[in-house]
């Protein structure tokens, strides 16, 4: 009995020690060819968080830089205790870089921002304070953007409008990288493709409480932007994925099955009509376009229905193989024992 109590107390003390070493925030910075900005960025993050008495770690993920950014980060990480340098083997894209940063983060909260100094690290404490009000995600809103009107502002406005209309998550600036997350929320989200733009929408699917705050935005000081109007077309493709995940992730048969049954009913109806005019009226139906349409609708309906069954099996594999529940619990409240 006594030994059991001792083991329980030791386990509790170990958990408390681990908790004491967990930083308040992990700052995740995806990087590609920003070697000129990095010294200023690291200093700004460290100064801001230290002055506000916030324990932190900085996780810089180099996404295949060719300008010396990786070498600079490796040198700094060997001499700084607050920096982790994660060097990817090649350029995988911003989504993969952010996902890598999330995987290596251990902070109670996670903040993301760009490495080009356009986001202001001085805004981080404000986002964290808003997070403490009970939100799961706080998104920055660049009200006064310092970007070109045609190559940055126009595609951004189009993309934000499309995303708001499609996802029903009404924040103004999906493209702002400066965001704060609770670490448990990030653990529930898996990023693929270029879904980093849709993190608020993915968080909404997970049942997160989301808000936004105005943040400062500065003109780019070094290098040139890697984004342009071509992003808008990629957003259109990714929106279809988000829309499906939002409505039919756990019930794909509802969309494929409905379309398949509708197609089969229409094809069957046309087939019955053609059979009637063939048998009752003696008309030729072999050269009628309706016959081809009826066959096409029936075949398409069967295929869609089969797609629905396969999607249901894949959905079950997706959830069960990872032990992912189809729900998220925010908290459990019970009566405390007397």
Decide if pLDDT at 114 tops 60: yes
Is 335 domain-assigned?
Answer: no
The CATH number of residue 49's host domain is 3.90.550.10
Q: What is the total count of domains within the chain?
A: 2
User: pLDDT value at position 318?
Assistant: 67
The DSSP line for 36-90 is TTHHHHHHHHHHHHHHTT--EEEEEEE-S-SSSHHHHHHHHHHH-TTEEEEE-SS
Pairing of strands 83-87, 109-112: unpaired
Is 221 domain-assigned?
Answer: yes
Q: 275 or 4, which is more confident?
A: 275
Confidence of residue 78 (pLDDT cuts 50, 70, 90): very high
Is 2 domain-assigned?
Answer: no
71 and 114 assigned to the same domain: yes
Q: 1 or 190, which is more confident?
A: 190
232 and 263 assigned to the same domain: no
Is 13 domain-assigned?
Answer: no
Task: Choose from 139-148, 224-233, 243-252 the range with maximum mean pLDDT.
Answer: 139-148
138 and 164 assigned to the same domain: yes
134 and 269 assigned to the same domain: no
Decide if pLDDT at 229 tops 60: no
31 and 179 assigned to the same domain: yes
Is 8 domain-assigned?
Answer: no
43 and 176 assigned to the same domain: yes
Question: Which of 248, 274, 307 marks a domain boundary?
Answer: 248
Q: Report percent pLDDT > 90 for the chain.
A: 41
Residue-number span of the structural domain to which 112 is assigned: 20-248
99 and 204 assigned to the same domain: yes
User: pLDDT value at position 146?
Assistant: 66
User: pLDDT value at position 101?
Assistant: 92
Task: Choose from 149-153, 206-210, 332-336 the range with maximum mean pLDDT.
Answer: 206-210
Residue range 17-55, pLDDT digits in tens: 445 579 999 999 999 989 999 999 999 999 999 999 999
Is 201 domain-assigned?
Answer: yes
Decide if pLDDT at 272 tops 70: yes
Is 12 domain-assigned?
Answer: no
241 and 295 assigned to the same domain: no
Phi then psi dihedrals of residue 311, to 5 deg: -65, -40
Mean pLDDT, rounded, for 206-231:
77
280 and 224 assigned to the same domain: no
Q: E strands along the chain, which residues?
A: 25-31, 56-62, 83-87, 109-112, 137-141, 179-182, 210-214
- Give the tokens for residue 20: 């004491």
Q: What is the pTM of this model?
A: 0.72
Is 330 domain-assigned?
Answer: no
243 and 258 assigned to the same domain: no
Residue range 181-215, pLDDT digits in tens: 999 998 878 777 677 878 888 888 788 899 999 99
Question: Which of 248, 283, 308 marks a domain boundary?
Answer: 248
What single-letter DSSP state applies at residue 143? Answer: S
Least confident of 22-36, 133-147, 149-163, 321-335: 321-335
């Amino acid at each position: 009995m006594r030994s059991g109590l001792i083991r329980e107390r030791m386990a509790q003390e170990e958990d408390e020690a681990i908790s004491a070493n967990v930083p308040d925030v992990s700052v995740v910075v995806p990087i590609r060819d920003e070697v000129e900005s990095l010294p200023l960025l690291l200093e700004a993050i460290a100064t801001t968080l230290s002055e506000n008495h916030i324990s932190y770690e900085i996780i810089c993920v180099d996404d295949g830089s060719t300008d010396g950014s990786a070498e600079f980060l490796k040198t700094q990480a060997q001499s700084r205790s607050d920096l982790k340098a994660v060097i990817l083997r090649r350029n995988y894209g911003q989504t993969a870089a952010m996902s890598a940063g999330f995987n290596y983060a251990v902070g109670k909260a996670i903040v993301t921002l760009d490495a080009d100094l356009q986001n202001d690290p001085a805004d981080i404490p404000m986002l964290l304070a808003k997070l403490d009000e009970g939100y799961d995600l706080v998104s920055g809103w660049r009200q006064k953007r310092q970007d070109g009107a045609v190559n940055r502002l126009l595609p951004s406005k189009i993309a934000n409008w499309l995303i708001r209309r499609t996802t029903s998550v009404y924040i103004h600036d999906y493209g702002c990288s400066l965001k704060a997350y609770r670490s448990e929320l990030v653990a529930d989200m898996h990023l693929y493709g270029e879904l980093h733009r849709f993190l608020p929408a993915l968080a909404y699917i997970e049942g997160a409480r989301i808000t936004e705050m105005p943040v400062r935005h500065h003109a780019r000081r070094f290098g040139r932007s890697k984004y342009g109007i071509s992003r808008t077309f990629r957003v259109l493709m990714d929106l279809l994925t988000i829309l499906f995940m939002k409505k039919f992730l756990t019930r794909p048969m509802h969309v494929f099955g409905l379309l398949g049954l509708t197609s089969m009913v229409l094809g069957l109806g046309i087939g019955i009509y053609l059979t009637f005019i063939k048998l009752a009226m003696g008309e030729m139906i072999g050269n009628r376009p309706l016959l081809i349409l009826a066959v096409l609708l029936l075949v398409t309906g069967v295929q869609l229905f089969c797609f629905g069954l396969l999607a249901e099996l894949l959905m079950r594999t997706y959830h069960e193989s990872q032990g992912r529940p189809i729900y998220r619990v925010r908290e459990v409240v019970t009566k405390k024992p007397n």
